[in-house]
Amino acid sequence: MKGHEHYLEAERLIERADAWLEHAALENGEADAVAGFHMAMAHAQVHATLALAAATAMPDVSRFMGDSDRVTDWGHAVGWTDRDQTKGEDR
């Protein structure tokens, strides 16, 4: 999953948590609703954190794509492709 996909997944999970809270409270009672809400929000928080890490790394990584396997692998992990190499330029 790439950085922007983590962001979208976090948004989806937050919407799901809100819907779960409303639905489960009607169907299963408040305790189940709250547990489901907290689980979905915890997963959303993980994805939001990963999206933030990717967004933070992108400007620095793009500048050094191709310099070493480690940097290039990280660039690919956050969504850059080899076409995104812009040596020395800010994005």
Interval 4-61: pLDDT, tens: 788 889 999 999 888 877 777 667 667 777 888 888 999 999 999 998 888 787 777 6
If one compares 38 and 80, the residue with the highest pLDDT of the two is 38
Highest mean pLDDT (candidates 4-8, 78-82, 87-91): 4-8
- Considering the domain boundaries, does residue 83 fall inside one? no
If one compares 51 and 2, the residue with the highest pLDDT of the two is 51
How far, in whole angstroms, is CA 46 from its chain's centroid? Answer: 7
- Considering the domain boundaries, does residue 13 fall inside one? yes
- Considering the domain boundaries, does residue 42 fall inside one? yes
Q: Cα–Cα distance between 50 and 41 in angstroms, integer?
A: 14
- Considering the domain boundaries, does residue 65 fall inside one? no
If one compares 65 and 90, the residue with the highest pLDDT of the two is 65
- Considering the domain boundaries, does residue 33 fall inside one? yes
Residue 14: which domain range?
3-60
Q: Cα–Cα distance between 74 and 62 in angstroms, integer?
A: 10
pLDDT given at position 9: 92
Q: How many domains does the chain have?
A: 1
